[in-house]
Structure 1
Amino acid sequence: MSHLEFTSATFLPFLPEDCQVNPGAYGFELAWWLAQVLARSGVVTSYPVGEDWGWLIEYREGDAEFMIGCGSQSDPGEGYRGQPVAWSVFVRQVRSLKQRLQGRSEPAIALRLTAAILTALRTEGIEVVVDESA
Structure 2
Amino acid sequence: MPHIAFSGTSDFRPYLPDAHQVSSGSYGFELAVYLSQSLAGKRIFTSYPFCLADRVRGGGANWFLEYKYSSDFPLAPSDRLFKNIHSEARFLIGICTECNDEDGYSEETSKGILWHIDIEDDHPQRVRAAGTDYAPVKVRLAEIIIEILDSRGIKSECSWI
Gaps of 5+ in 1: none
Query: Which of the residues 83, 87, 91 maps onto 2:115?
Result: 87
Query: Which of the residues 117, 121, 126 maps onto 2:154?
Result: 126
Partner residue of 2:26? 25
What number of residue pairs does the alignment pair up? 133
Gaps of 5+ in 2: 54-60, 70-86
Is residue 54 from structure 1 mapped to residue 62 from structure 2 by the alignment?
yes
Structure with the greater alpha carbon radius of gyration: 2
CA contact (8 A) 1:21 1:51 kept: no
TM-score by length of structure 2 reads: 0.77
CA distance in 1 between counterparts of 2:51 and 2:116 reads 15
After superposition, the CA RMSD in angstroms is: 1.3
- By how many angstroms is 1:100 displaced? 3.0
- By how many angstroms is 1:27 displaced? 0.1
Q: Percent of counterpart pairs with the same letter?
A: 32
Is residue 66 from structure 1 mapped to residue 67 from structure 2 by the alignment?
no
CA distance in 1 between counterparts of 2:41 and 2:91 reads 18
CA contact (8 A) 2:4 2:157 kept: yes
- By how many angstroms is 1:54 displaced? 2.1
- By how many angstroms is 1:81 displaced? 1.9
Query: Which of the residues 99, 107, 110 maps onto 2:135?
Result: 107
TM-score by length of structure 1 reads: 0.92
